[in-house]
Chains A and B, each alone.
Chain A
Amino acid sequence: MTVTETLTPNVRTRLRRSLFWIVCTVGALIVALIAIALSGGNQAQSRPLQADSATPTGAKGVVTVLEDHGVSVTAADSATDAADSLNGDVTLFVYDAEGFLETSNLADLAAQASDVVVLTPDFQTLRALAPGVLAGGTEATDADPVSARCDIAAAERAETAEVLYTYRITDAPNATGCFPVSDGRFGLISLPQDDGTLTVLGNPGALSNEKILHGGNAALALSLLGQNDELVWYLPTIADVQAHQPPTLGELTPPWVVPFTTLLAVTALAAMFWRGRRLGPVVVEKMPVHVPARETVEGRARLYERGNAREHAIDALRIGAISRIARLLGLPAGATALQVADAAASVLGHDVHDVRAALVEEQPASDQQLMAISSAVSDIEKRVRATLDETGRM
């Protein structure tokens, strides 16, 4: 006798059967990796006004033109990087779109730089850098360009500019506002500092690749940012925040907690595999059909009930009872219902009218009457049965 045939495929057969899918998966992975390597990686990291980004929101245009004119541009991602590059006559450009930067940090940086250009500063930044300047609200995005109307060289050269965020001068006597919108709100404010100027600019779009060529944007950008030979292009990142946060949950917990939970997860996986692995396939079985026979009777009863078919119901009950009584009394098959009722009345000694009413004449107008007639009918049948003995004689 030989070894019994095994139905479970071995590893080699299983591999061969699933070869197609393995090849497909590997191919798809390779294609995805190539796609990410070629393009996806760069695009994913592009931020607004990034110095080396050629996307519409990037600022590669301005930076390249500045470099062509002999300004060396240093891109900085964190406060420490920016501080390292701030030596000598340097312009500091700061755009903190996400609000990562601490105001004290920014004040330190601004003190080190000779000229500072702050793009759309928020309330706290303004308080730290230019206490006399307040935010003045926004203009419509499709508003007409505004002319300079001030004696700042950069603004005069630009002549007109689009304005988005505006600023007001409240308590800064030497501040100059340019591109006035209305009642003392300006698109650009210049504040002379110790050894340079602090410029607050209210339109982030003006420097982007997409809009740099609109109106006087290019002239304004180049004049503001090209004041010195060096420019630090500082876009704060998440790295600027962490240094000042309170200790995280991870730092507070013991070092073994995450490995411990990982081990628990692995244990859970192993337990799932342990309990989930079936001892062979599920056995199927064809089941015979079984129909409960009473359903038709039950269904018809509910139909009578819902349709208030009292006359149908009592008819059925009466016909059944009358035919049984007729058989008990030995009446011929052709006997009418009234004849049977009369015969039953005479056997029982009841009033003929009562028996006739119960067995034939009375019509139920309500369920109560139906029940009364039904019990009267079954009562008559029972009495007839009781009156006769088994042989059918009285």
Chain B
Amino acid sequence: MAVTGWFVALVALGVVPVVAVGQATGSAWPVLAAWLALCLVLLVFDVVLAGSPRRLSVERSLPDRVRLGESVTSTLLITNRGRRTVRALVRDAWQPSARASLPRQRLVIPPAERRAVSQQLQPFRRGDRMSAQVIVRAFGPLRLGARQAALSAPGRLRVLPPFNARKHLPSRLARLRELDGSSAVMVRGQGTEFDSLREYVRGDDVRSIDWRATARRQDLVVRTWRPERDRRVVIVIDTGRTSAARIDNEPRIDTSFEASLLLAALATRAGDRVDVVAFDRRVRGRVQGANGPTLLSRMVDTLAAVDPELIEMDWDAVPGQVRDITAHRALVVLLTSIDAPGASQGLLSVLPQLTQKHLVVVASVTDPDVVAAVSQRDRRDDVYRAASAERSLLDITRVSAAIRHQGADVVTGAPADLPPALSDHYIALKAAGRL
């Protein structure tokens, strides 16, 4: 039940008879009572004659997934199964961060007919965006009153991480192909696998000429090498409290997702097996055993719903998590944050267990604002801020040195730079045959 502005206007219109008759006869109370009774009767009449919103059936058609920043069309098909025409104001109750373009729409549905209500959704937050119900307000023929009901029509739209770092993928894939034996560029080093023999072309490294084959073929023949394949890459994403920090208008966890997606895309093309686990004190998401194109889709699907938790990361459990994924030597990428020595104690204490068996890379976002604050020294409080920023950079340097001392690599970068930097480090490791 609801009333409209017309009903309010109708009640207000009673001023005319109340004043006119009151002035003429000296008694306005009966007129007032009669007018209010008239309004009430008209309202009841209108509400009773309104088409019932309870006699509608709602169908939803909506894509399952959308990448953050893109928009989708959500359509509601509403069928009138009642006997009266429904003049409805329809609201699809999407969560605010789904950013529905037209949350309220008017439509008229004659009996036994169906109408579609479409709107654009452009979600601005990652994760599952829900709409539990559709609310219909059906107006009466006089537009004075309305009947209102909420209809159950659950809808879910999974908003995937944007993967903006995919723009770096083509250049890194080209670098990867250069590593491969198919390219004219040769890479030497321990651990690279022998691929094939081919004719020498100018520019090839003379050290890779295979003299025995040259003798057989009467032509210069070089050996080609290709990087190892079928290595394991385990990406551990820290979803603990430090990942909630917003750096350069992007939470640390989102940068971690971007970096892990780019690395996974690259590594799966290079023929390595990638497993991902998002962890703080328990596993928030895990992608295991996926390969090729399914890997990325499963990754974005799993990571979409992972948000930072305000609890401390349990580093002691990380070696166990890695052991669960693979028993062999692997490249373990820890996407976490490196700040004060005190806060990084947990990480430092478990690193030896990991580095003993695996190749470990610790990747962390640095704050470009802090770096900029160091050279900003115009005013008194700027100097203190510069000192404080310098102190935190020194802390990061100390922790990084400690991590390197434990035998792990460190990759740092601003939010926009970390994903390509991590991929470059992976390519460098592959080229050096360290995987």
Interface residues of A, CB < 8 Å — how many?
60
Docked pose: A6 CA to B388 CA in angstroms: 59
Query: At the interface with chain A, which of B193-201, B213-221, B239-247?
Result: B239-247
Tell me if A4 and B151 are in contact (CB < 8 A): yes
Tell me if B151 and A5 are in contact (CB < 8 A): yes
Q: Mark A28-63, 1 if CB is under 8 A from B, else 0.
A: 000000000000000000000000000000000000
Docked pose: A103 CA to B57 CA in angstroms: 81
Tell me if A296 and B392 are in contact (CB < 8 A): yes
Q: Mark B105-145, 1 if CB is under 8 A from A, else 0.
A: 00000000000000000000101000111010100000000
Contacting A312 at CB < 8 Å: which of B7, B385, B387? B387
- A262 — which chain B residues lie within 8 A by C-beta? 32
The answer to whether residues A263 and B14 also contact, given A320-B390, A378-B375 and a CB cut-off of 8 A, is: yes
Task: Output the nearest chain B residue to A5 by Cβ-Cβ distance.
Answer: B152
Docked pose: A367 CA to B157 CA in angstroms: 56
Tell me if B19 and A260 are in contact (CB < 8 A): yes
Tell me if B91 and A279 are in contact (CB < 8 A): yes
- B369 — which chain A residues lie within 8 A by C-beta? 293-294
Tell me if B381 and A290 are in contact (CB < 8 A): no
Chain A, range 293-307, C-beta contacts under 8 Å to B: 293-294, 296-298, 300-302, 304-305
Query: At the interface with chain B, which of A91-99, A111-119, A131-139, A267-275?
Result: A267-275
Size bracket, chain B contacts: 35 or more
Tell me if A1 and B57 are in contact (CB < 8 A): yes
Determine if A172 is an interface residue (Cβ-Cβ < 8 Å): no
The answer to whether residues A291 and B246 also contact, given A259-B32, A297-B385, A320-B394 and a CB cut-off of 8 A, is: yes
Contacting B387 at CB < 8 Å: which of A5, A270, A280, A313? A313
Q: Mark B391-413, 1 if CB is under 8 A from A, else 0.
A: 11110010000000000000000
Tell me if A317 and B387 are in contact (CB < 8 A): yes
Docked pose: A5 CA to B59 CA in angstroms: 12
Tell me if B89 and A260 are in contact (CB < 8 A): no
Task: Output the nearest chain B residue to A303 by Cβ-Cβ distance.
Answer: B388
Docked pose: A290 CA to B387 CA in angstroms: 25
Determine if A319 is an interface residue (Cβ-Cβ < 8 Å): yes
- A254 — which chain B residues lie within 8 A by C-beta? 22-23
Contacting A2 at CB < 8 Å: which of B15, B57, B391? B57
Contacting A288 at CB < 8 Å: which of B55, B307, B389, B391? B307
The answer to whether residues A316 and B56 also contact, given A270-B7, A273-B3, A289-B308 and a CB cut-off of 8 A, is: no
Determine if A336 is an interface residue (Cβ-Cβ < 8 Å): no
Residue of A259, A290, A367 contacting most chain B CB atoms (<10 Å):
A259
Docked pose: A74 CA to B151 CA in angstroms: 73
The answer to whether residues A279 and B384 also contact, given A263-B15, A297-B389 and a CB cut-off of 8 A, is: no
Task: Output the nearest chain B residue to A381 by Cβ-Cβ distance.
Answer: B375
Residue of B153, B373, B383 contacting most chain A CB atoms (<10 Å):
B383
Tell me if A293 and B153 are in contact (CB < 8 A): no
- A1 — which chain B residues lie within 8 A by C-beta? 57, 59, 79
- B133 — which chain A residues lie within 8 A by C-beta? 7, 280-281
- B127 — which chain A residues lie within 8 A by C-beta? 288
Task: Output the nearest chain A residue to B365 by Cβ-Cβ distance.
Answer: A293
- A280 — which chain B residues lie within 8 A by C-beta? 91, 93, 133, 135, 148, 150
Task: Output the nearest chain A residue to B391 by Cβ-Cβ distance.
Answer: A316
Docked pose: A301 CA to B379 CA in angstroms: 13
The answer to whether residues A297 and B370 also contact, given A7-B150, A374-B377 and a CB cut-off of 8 A, is: yes
Main secondary structure of the interface of A (DSSP, over half): helix
- B397 — which chain A residues lie within 8 A by C-beta? 323
- A263 — which chain B residues lie within 8 A by C-beta? 11-12, 14-15, 18, 32, 35-36
Query: At the interface with chain A, which of B94-102, B266-274, B349-357?
Result: B94-102
Determine if A370 is an interface residue (Cβ-Cβ < 8 Å): yes
Task: Output the nearest chain A residue to B380 by Cβ-Cβ distance.
Answer: A367
Determine if A249 is an interface residue (Cβ-Cβ < 8 Å): no
Task: Output the nearest chain B residue to A305 by Cβ-Cβ distance.
Answer: B384
Task: Output the nearest chain A residue to B401 by Cβ-Cβ distance.
Answer: A333
Docked pose: A333 CA to B265 CA in angstroms: 38
Determine if B26 is an interface residue (Cβ-Cβ < 8 Å): yes
Determine if A201 is an interface residue (Cβ-Cβ < 8 Å): no
Contacting B152 at CB < 8 Å: which of A6, A260, A277, A279? A6
Tell me if A4 and B32 are in contact (CB < 8 A): no
Tell me if B391 and A300 are in contact (CB < 8 A): yes
Tell me if B383 and A271 are in contact (CB < 8 A): no
Q: Mark B311-345, 1 if CB is under 8 A from A, else 0.
A: 00000000000000000000000000001000000
Contacting A371 at CB < 8 Å: which of B2, B18, B310, B380? B380
Docked pose: A313 CA to B382 CA in angstroms: 11
Tell me if B388 and A300 are in contact (CB < 8 A): yes
Determine if A26 is an interface residue (Cβ-Cβ < 8 Å): no
- B308 — which chain A residues lie within 8 A by C-beta? 288-289
Determine if B434 is an interface residue (Cβ-Cβ < 8 Å): no
Tell me if B388 and A297 are in contact (CB < 8 A): yes
The answer to whether residues A7 and B151 also contact, given A263-B32, A270-B11, A293-B247 and a CB cut-off of 8 A, is: yes
A-B contact pairs, 27 of them (CB 8 A): A4-B56, A5-B152, A8-B148, A8-B149, A254-B23, A256-B18, A256-B19, A259-B28, A263-B35, A267-B11, A274-B5, A277-B148, A279-B104, A283-B93, A283-B132, A284-B95, A285-B95, A285-B97, A288-B308, A290-B245, A292-B245, A293-B367, A301-B385, A305-B381, A312-B387, A317-B386, A378-B377
List the 4 closest pairs (A to B, CB-CB), nearest first.
Answer: A256-B22, A280-B135, A313-B387, A301-B388
Which residues does A use to contact B, with CB under 8 Å? 1-8, 10, 254-256, 258-260, 262-264, 266-267, 270-271, 273-274, 277, 279-281, 283-285, 288-294, 296-298, 300-302, 304-305, 312-314, 316-317, 319-320, 323, 367, 370-371, 374-375, 378
* 5 extra A-B contacts, CB within 8 A, seeds A263-B35, A274-B7: A259-B28, A280-B150, A298-B388, A302-B384, A374-B383
Which residues does B use to contact A, with CB under 8 Å? 2-5, 7-8, 11-12, 14-15, 18-19, 21-23, 26-29, 31-32, 35-36, 53-59, 79, 81, 89, 91, 93-97, 104, 125, 127, 131-133, 135, 137, 148-153, 241, 244-247, 251-252, 307-308, 310, 339, 367, 369-370, 373-375, 377, 380-381, 383-394, 397
